[in-house]
Structure formats: structure tokens, C-alpha cells
Amino acid sequence: MTNLLEMVIEPLEQVFLKFQVFLPNFVAMLIILLTGIFFAWLVKLILQKFLKAVKFDSWSDRMGFTSVMRKGEIWAKPSVALGRAVFWLLVIVTVMISLSSLDYETLNKLIVSFFEYLPRVFTAVLILFTGYVLSGFISRAMLIAMANAGYHYAKLISKAARVLLMLMILAMSMEQLQIAPGIVLAAFSILFGGIVAALSIAFGVGGIDAARRVIEKESTENPKKSNKDNIEHI
């Protein structure tokens, strides 16, 4: 009978001891989680008010970010969407930090991997954001310059240049995230080269008539100019 009681009581004692160790860590996890969520909400509130004060929504409309958001089925204002994104990012970081307080080896390895990978995500997002702004600026500058110069395909060329720039920027961001870098590089090379070749052929074939007109115009103007020079020389 005594042996039977010991067999029952001993596992219960072990469970109780483990619970005593787990309970403080669990309470610490809850405190960290609740504090972090409150801090994230406070940061979101301050950030949204700041963005509204500097008229971030109007700037996003001018730069085209709002239209991109609408195409992606995001109907919130840019300031609100950015505030929510920052809020959930802080919540995810808080969850990871709170889980580390449980002091489990597997969770700790996962959390370390997450924080090591987080700078890559930030860099990739920064590359995408900066690249989107620069590609829009370059595309618009090309459109204005070629339109003022009288090119008929100014709009098409500027859009093609922006697509090529965005492909390059997307490949750079995916390479930064280390998402199958070999496949990304090969796919980008094939796609980029194919688009350039297609555009070259399209403009080459479509520009035959234009080139013929330019050559005919030059050939008709040159004799007149030479005759005029001969008359002036006499």
C-alpha cells in the first residue's frame, strides 16, 4: 500500500515542483505581454497623430501610395495603415520577448532566430519603399523630358522604365530576405533580359517608319543646305 501511494504521490510532487517553477515565468510573461501591448497602442496613437499633423495622407496621395493601397484592397488612410502596421510589429516583438521569459530552450532558439532575421525584414521594406519612391520620380522625370522633346512613346517608355526598376528593386529586397537567392537571381535575369529584348524588338519594329521619315527628312534637307552653301560661297 505504501509503495502504491508513493507511486501516485511522487509524480504529483514533480508536477507541483514544475508548476512552481513555471508559474512565476508565466506571470512575468503576462506582465510583459500586457505592458508591451499597451506600449504598442500608445506608440500607434502618437504616430497617427504625428502623421496627420505633417499631412502624411496628402503626401501619400501625391506620391501614388494611396492608389497602390487601394489596388491592394487596403481602404484605410495611409496614416492609419502605417500606425496599425507599427502596432502589430511591436505586438509581435512583445510576444517574442514575453515567450522568452518562459525559459524554454526551443522557444529561446526560435526567438533568437526571429530577432536575427528582423533586421533583414526592415532592410527589405526600406529598399522597397525607397525604390518605389525613386522609380516613380525617375519615371515622371523621363516622361516630362521626353514629352517636352516631342517623343511619341514617352508615356510607354517611362512606364517600361518604372517596371524594370521595380523588378530590380524587388529582386534586391528578396535577396536581402534570403528567399532562395539563386532562384531569385536566375528568375530576375531571365525576366529582365526578356523584357529588355521584347522592348528592343517592339521599338525596333515599330520605329522603322519613324526612322525612314527621319532619314528622308535629312536627305531632303541636306541637298538644300549644300546648294545654299554653294550660293553663299559664290
pLDDT tens-place values along the chain, 234 residues long? 556 566 666 666 666 666 666 677 788 888 888 999 999 999 999 999 998 898 888 888 887 778 777 766 677 888 888 898 889 989 988 888 888 777 777 777 777 787 788 888 888 888 887 887 788 788 888 888 878 877 777 787 788 788 888 888 888 888 787 776 666 667 667 766 776 676 666 556 555 665 566 566 666 655 554 444 444 444
Determine whether 231 is exposed, middle or buried from the number of CB atoms within 10 Å of its CB (0-12, 13-18, 19+). exposed
Q: Which three cell numbers stand for residue 141?
A: 522625370
Question: pTM of the entire structure?
Answer: 0.59
Q: Which of 76, 75, 172, 77 is nearest to 131 (CA)?
A: 172
> What pLDDT is attached to residue 41?
94
Q: Are 57 and 77 in contact (CB under 8 A)?
A: yes
**CB hemisphere CA count around 167 (13 angstroms):** 19
| Domain segments of the chain as ranges | 1-103, 110-234
CATH architecture of the domain with range 110-234: Orthogonal Bundle (1.10)
> What pLDDT is attached to residue 81?
87
